[in-house]
Amino acid sequence: MVNPAKALVLDFGGVVTRTLFETHELTEQALGLPSDSLMWRGPFDPDNDALWQSMQADEISERDYWHARTQEVAALVGADWSQMSDFVKAARGADPEPVMRPQALAAIDAVRQAGGKLAILSNELDLFYGAEFRDKLPFLKHFDVIIDATYTQILKPDPRAYLMACEGLNLNPGECVFVDDQMRNIRGGEEVGMQCVHFDVLRPDSSYDQALQLMGITGN
């Protein structure tokens, strides 16, 4: 039997926050766009999102996908956005609370109460959200480690990214549960020996339940 893990290592966008696909209505309101202006739905309607399919086929990167969507929405509103963070700031406004996943906040609290460790392992936390976004998220102060490839320039699924998180936690990979919504990143975590949960954005409750079970935490 595998011993319970000691740390929960989370991707950020999609895992801690609701995806931009899920918040089109909020985005349209914030940007003054008519309803149903944004029709791309990524994993929620992959058959009608050819760009998403290209990303899943590794023909383009996740950064390429969001750069294209940023430019597309900028054209709709007549904005000059050079970075994904420009789009996110405009779309999500001053209050990030509506886009936080309640399941994520509950799981973070459960890990803290159980005495476990917490880490963020993101490819583009500040690149996509802007550095000031962190100041609006008080729960981040409870994280032992935040690894952001915005600064390290080492993107998942590069093994070094996962090992940096483990080193920061002072734990072996097998003592960490890694949660990410991109299968390529899950495979990277598995390759270094982490316990992994492929986060299903369609079923966030079951994904977090699975992660907490691997840490020996039940009843969340």
Parse the chain into domains and list their residue ranges: 7-17+100-214, 20-92
Tens-digit pLDDT profile for residues 121-143: 999 898 888 888 888 888 999 99
Nearest Cα neighbor of 183 from 57, 37, 16 is 57
Structure tokens at 131: 């550095």
pTM surpassing 0.85? yes
Rounded CA separation 189/207 (Å): 16
Dig out the tokens for 161 from the structure: 């990214």
Both tokens assigned to 55: 């990303």
Q: How far apart are CA 207 and CA 20, in angstroms?
A: 19
pLDDT in tens, 42-56: 999 999 999 999 999
**CATH architecture of the domain covering 7-17+100-214:** 3-Layer(aba) Sandwich (3.40)
User: What pLDDT was estimated at residue 136?
Assistant: 84
Whether pLDDT at 220 is above 60: no
Q: Which two tokens stand for residue 164?
A: 């940096």
CA distances from 63 to 51, 90, 161, 202 (A): 12, 18, 17, 22
pLDDT per residue as tens digits for the range 65-121: 999 999 999 999 999 998 888 998 898 766 778 889 999 999 999 999 999 999 999
DSSP state, residue 145: E
* Helices (H), ranges, 21-93: 24-31, 50-56, 62-77, 84-92
Please say whether the beta carbons of 193 and 174 come within 8 A.
yes
pLDDT greater than 90 at residue 63: no
